[in-house]
Amino acid sequence: MIAERDGCDGPATPPGRSVPLPHDHTQAILETTKRVAALLKASGKRFALAGSVAAFAHGLPASFQHDTDFCVRREDAGEVVQALEAGGVTMRQAPEDWLVKGCSEGEDFDLIFELARRPVSTELLDRAESRAVDSVWMPVLAPTDLMDSRLAALCEHYCDFGDLLPMARMLREQIDWDRMYLDHRDAPLSDAFLYLLERLRVIEPRERREEP
């Protein structure tokens, strides 16, 4: 059962595990990511790592300080939550209706059903790539989908290009920029970021034509 409360309710230690998480917060997030991924794999349900830890899995420097995110299909949420709770993880409802939150030994993580208001689909999970996260292999959002979700999340209240620029530089050869142009050219903030990448010569410029 998902608890109706906010915040981590103390460390949850599964049977047979007594080793505390490391004091280094970055490494603690990685340890939580590995543990939750192992439980998700054991559940047999589809998932993919998302967010800044996914970017790290694709080769970016570790820059995460808050939590880790996993994408799951909404229709799988109930069984996934049960599997995590059976593994000793504390799960709780969130105010938002597009995710549920979990806590493993004091570190938070999110199970996300929607990325930037778009449902997590089987097709999205099919495109995920198997990557090693601190020596543990797991499905990770493909670079194009990772960039797509970050661009779609840009809004007037959150318009920070500081995290996006290193990702674009590091993953530019792995991202389908034509798709980014087609999907985001009508969104002012996303389009501005793509133009910035052109001016910085991170990506090749595309000819911009007015719609007929």
Q: Is the pLDDT of residue 10 over 80?
A: no
Give the number of residues written for the chain. Answer: 212
Average pLDDT over residues 116-142: 95
Q: What is the pLDDT of residue 18?
A: 42
The domain total for the chain is 2
Token pair 């798709």: residue: 179
CA distances 120 to 101, 113, 145, 189, Å, are 16, 5, 11, 23
pTM (two decimals)? 0.84
Chain centroid to Cα 157, Å, comes to 20
Q: What is the pLDDT of residue 65?
A: 65
Are residues 124 and 150 located together in one domain of the fold? no
Average pLDDT over residues 30-36: 95
Q: End of a domain among 96, 126, 141?
A: 141
Q: Which of 53-67, 78-92, 133-147, 186-200 has the lowest mean pLDDT?
A: 53-67
Q: Is the pLDDT of residue 14 over 50?
A: no
Q: End of a domain among 85, 119, 141?
A: 141
Average pLDDT over residues 8-37: 69
Q: End of a domain among 104, 120, 141?
A: 141
Question: Would you say the C-alpha torsion 23, 24, 25, 26 has a positive or negative sign?
Answer: negative
Q: Is the pLDDT of residue 153 over 50?
A: yes
Looking at residue 120, which CATH number applies to its domain?
3.30.460.40
Boundaries of domain holding 154: 143-212
Are residues 70 and 118 located together in one domain of the fold? yes
